[in-house]
Structure 1
């Protein structure tokens, strides 16, 4: 799954910007996590840590016995 050549520059705070074509191809969104490793040849490997999907699959729904409407609650009590 090659995206072609793409280069970025490490800035003074050691941050980099992931090129748009790479972000789109990998479906990266703000808040996604990357795990950084290096191999024996000195290559940098970034692995996407997918935690945004299915994080609560093991939880059962809880019936609180009444319906709530978050918009009405905010209007009634303010945004907090």
Structure 2
């Protein structure tokens, strides 16, 4: 029978929380993963751990658009304020 792990976390004044080490280890939480929060109609809160995906674009082939690009600098062009 799997063991149940329960820990408490205090919510800071900035509404941040820290995932306790025992919970991180048991759930396999790593940096880059995300947490999805859900509040039901009755106010109950649930949390879903979503692992970071690696290699999601490994099977894609580059497309020659006839000009050089610099993804490190160009990827946020649409969100910059001028």
Is 1:12 the counterpart of 2:13 in the alignment? yes
Is 1:36 the counterpart of 2:53 in the alignment? no
Q: Deviations over 1:36-78 (max 9, x none)?
A: 1012332211112233245235x1577xxxxxxxxxxxxxxxx
Give runs of aligned pairs for residues 1-80 of structure 1, distance below 5 A. Answer: 3-56=4-57, 59-60=59-60
Contact 1:3 1:21 in 2 (8 A): no
Contact 2:29 2:51 in 1 (8 A): no
* Shift in CA distance, 11/2, structure 1 to aligned 2, threshold 3 Å: farther
**Secondary structure of 1:47 counterpart:** strand
Relative to the length of structure 1, the TM-score reads 0.60
Cα root mean square deviation, aligned: 2.3
- The number of residue pairs the alignment matches comes to 61
Relative to the length of structure 2, the TM-score reads 0.58
Shift of 1:15: 0.3
